[in-house]
């Protein structure tokens, strides 16, 4: 691929049009751009192949726009990896100029660049989120792998803004073990909602 001078490129691991499976927008159609690169290091990560930024092709933001428009998608979710490792203002400016709504899914461990319609922060113990990232969150989505993660969820919720929606999500590999605990917790603490990885039940990306 010939690179034009001044062309803005980002490492793109994969991209696909699917149904959002997690959080507030579960069930809604969205085009996903999964950027390469992550140093958060979650032991239960299901996309560890995204971690090495150097193995993924660099793709222009204009080509990413073409992908989205080819499906007539109205919403784009930028995820990773850890997408906030990259400077994303040019990407969000371009996509917004074509009336595409933009969501980002991040651990919050890096400053969030770009202009977003919805910010999902999923904080991880392996590399703690920045307070300024938590303050920007539209939703806080905490993965529950161990019962102590409920305490971790509350610690992060204290740093979120008052309008932030709060979600607890059982980690897929031990969901049967932890889901009853999460259900009980949400019943006793109704400010929290439960998020399930619905896309895995539907067997879609």
Determine the pLDDT at residue 6: 60
Determine the pLDDT at residue 2: 41
Token pair listed for 161? 């803004």
Name every residue whose Cβ is closer than 8 Å to that of residue 165 and which is 6 or more positions away in sequence: 24, 138, 139, 140, 193
Taking 50 as the pLDDT cut, the residues of the chain under it are 1-5
Q: What is the distance between the alpha carbons of residues 37 and 142, in angstroms, rounded to a whole number? A: 21
Determine the pLDDT at residue 1: 42
Contact 34, 14 (CB under 8 A): yes
Kindly report whether the peptide bond that precedes residue 81 is cis, defined as omega within 30 degrees of 0. yes
Specify the pTM.
Answer: 0.94
Determine the pLDDT at residue 53: 93
Neighbours of 189 (CB within 10 A): 14
Tell me the domains of the chain and their CATH numbers: 9-202 (3.20.20.70)
Determine the pLDDT at residue 49: 87
Determine the pLDDT at residue 5: 44
Name every residue whose Cβ is closer than 8 Å to that of residue 63 and which is 6 or more positions away in sequence: none
């Amino acid at each position: 691929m010939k690179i034009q001078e001044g062309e803005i490129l980002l490492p793109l691991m994969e991209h696909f049009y699917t149904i959002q499976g997690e959080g507030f927008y579960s069930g809604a159609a969205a085009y996903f751009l999964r950027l390469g690169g992550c140093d958060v290091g979650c032991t239960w990560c299901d996309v560890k192949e995204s971690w090495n930024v150097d193995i993924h092709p660099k793709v222009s933001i204009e080509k990413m726009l073409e992908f989205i428009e080819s499906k007539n998608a109205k919403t784009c979710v930028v995820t990773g990896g850890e997408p906030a490792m990259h400077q994303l203002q040019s990407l969000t400016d371009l996509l917004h100029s074509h009336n595409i709504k933009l969501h980002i899914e991040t651990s919050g461990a890096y400053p969030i660049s770009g202009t977003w319609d919805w910010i999902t922060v999923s904080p991880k113990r392996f590399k703690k989120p920045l307070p300024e990232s938590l303050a920007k969150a539209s939703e806080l989505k905490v993965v529950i792998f161990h019962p102590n993660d409920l305490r971790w969820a509350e610690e992060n919720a204290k740093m979120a803004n008052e309008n932030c929606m709060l979600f607890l999500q059982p980690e897929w590999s031990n969901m049967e073990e932890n889901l009853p605990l999460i259900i009980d917790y949400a019943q006793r603490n109704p400010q929290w909602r439960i998020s399930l990885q619905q896309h895995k039940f539907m067997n879609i990306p």
